Amino acid sequence: MKKFDVVFIGSGHANWHAAVELQRAGKKVAIVEKDLIAGTCTNYGCNAKILLDGAADLIHQANAYEGFGIKGNLQIDWKELMAYKKATINPIHLLLEQQFKAVGIEIFNGTARFLDAHSISVGENRISATDFIIGTGQKPNRLPVEGNEFLHDSRDFLDLSELPKHMTFIGAGIVSLEFAMLVKTAGAEVTVIEFAAGALRGFNQKYVDSLLQQMEKMGIKIHFNEAVQKIQQNETNGLSVVTASGLEVKTNYIVDATGRIPNIDELDLKAAGVEFNRGGIIVDNHLQTNISHIYASGDVIDKKIPRLTPTATFESNYLAKLLLGETSEAIEYPAIASVVFTLPRIAQVGISELEIKEKEDQYLIKTIPYGSRLRFQTKNEPEAEATLIFDQDSYLVGASVYGDEAPELINFLAIIIGQKLTQSELNKQIFAFPSQTIGLLSMLTPYLRKFK
């Protein structure tokens, strides 16, 4: 049996940052990975998505200048775009694997299964460790309906060699809306089917409504309150999505974007005595399971905070410090910024309007229509807007943004929230002009606390 100080199950962002740090600090470290090194985000998630999105975003921004100086139509060549994505993304896991091995980490390719609380099997290998960290993430949910063998997940979509004529997305969450707008811009006909009455639950619904109007303006058909009943082949050799109400959508390709579930079914957690539920592995505020030497990190955890790559990285870095004895404090999350990479973007950070609905009298909520007021600093997007939430001490505690530059703006606002910056502190800085950041800042500071 091979023995290690720390064994990481999974090699995504939830694990590899800590693995490298611990190995460099002198620990004997192993990583177990049954798929590509570096996990979902790196290989078939956010990185791949944003490369494809870049072309659609460029067209979206160019369209804003139609009649204002830009003529002619830009078009996406899907095959060329996908080739670019593959050329950029495919080598990354190999480069990271080389880096892991270069620092001395031993890698086991295969499925990890707990034999007991102190050892696992990976194929023919038996491995024990002083500490285990589980970072196996989540996997796509599969809709339990007749004909679900015709459904594709996000990984399939991000490797799609040819663009189908018509695509249907089941679900109206982040993945579905991002992909729907991408392929519509690329030339496909698109339908979205959602069981619930609305989309993007948890995000600023005013901005979600604006986004849905934009999608419909593009020609995307959206059906709410529709429960998918079955998928079947139709008379044209295509597919049909049939709902309980009788709606039938004829299509060529269907993406099941109904959510993700914890990737834990092959771990045999019961053999180790680790507690879990439908939401994932149960941990305390030190990311420790009920078994003191077994920890969990990233999306596999049962948690309420956003399941994002930066969150997983934050947890991984925390665990490195914890296991090296550099901290004994509980993990403390900052305000977490999140973005929906639609066209335009929606972003948010900190406290939301939904969270303070019952206590709005304790906060100041300001709507900043920066797109219409700062035409020379934006890219002709008069609809761009920010909603800012201040507490009773006039500190910024929450924000949501609707606009093309929302990802950059929300990161700047996250710093203001996290550092509790005041007018006087921001006024000590000289920012680049003209820019959306300084424009929004000029509208924000009058409401901000002057001094600490």
Q: Residue 326, annotated ligand binder?
A: no
Phi, psi (5° rounding) for residue 168? -120, 135
Q: Residue 58, annotated ligand binder?
A: no
Q: What is the CA radius of gyration of the chain?
A: 24
As given in the structure block, the two tokens for residue 438 are 């300084």
Q: Residue 174, annotated ligand binder?
A: yes
Pairwise CA distance, residues 22 & 194, whole Å: 44
Q: Residue 12, annotated ligand binder?
A: no
> Virtual CA dihedral for 94, 99, 104, 109, nearest 10 degrees?
-20
Phi, psi (5° rounding) for residue 240? -125, 135
Q: Residue 176, annotated ligand binder?
A: yes
Q: Which residues contact 143 (CB under 8 A, 6 or more apart)?
A: 151, 170, 228, 256, 258
Q: Residue 10, annotated ligand binder?
A: no
Helix-strand-coil split of the chain, %, nearest 5? 35, 25, 40
Q: What is the DSSP string of 236-259?
A: TSSEEEEETTS-EEEESEEEE-S-
Q: Residue 178, annotated ligand binder?
A: yes
User: Strand 29-33 and strand 151-152: pairing?
Assistant: unpaired
Angle at 135 between CA 335 and CA 331, to 5 degrees: 35
Tokens 């596999």, located at residue: 300
Q: Residue 414, annotated ligand binder?
A: no
DSSP classification of residue 70: B
Nearest alpha carbon to residue 30 among 120, 122, 121, 107? 107
CB neighbours of residue 386 within 10 Å: 26
Q: Residue 280, annotated ligand binder?
A: no
Q: Residue 421, annotated ligand binder?
A: no
User: Strand 253-256 and strand 166-170: pairing?
Assistant: parallel
Nearest alpha carbon to residue 32 among 57, 53, 2? 2
Task: Say whether 53 sits in a helix, a strand or coil.
Answer: helix
Pairwise CA distance, residues 227 & 241, whole Å: 10
Q: Residue 154, annotated ligand binder?
A: no
> Virtual CA dihedral for 355, 359, 364, 366, nearest 10 degrees?
50
Do 345 and 214 meet the contact criterion of CB atoms below 8 Å apart? no
DSSP classification of residue 369: -
Tokens 């579905």, located at residue: 176
Could you give the residue ranges of the DSSP H alpha helices within 328-449? 370-373, 406-419, 423-426, 436-444
Binding region: 171-178, 194, 259, 299
Binding region for NAD(+): 171-178, 194, 259
Binding region for FAD: 299
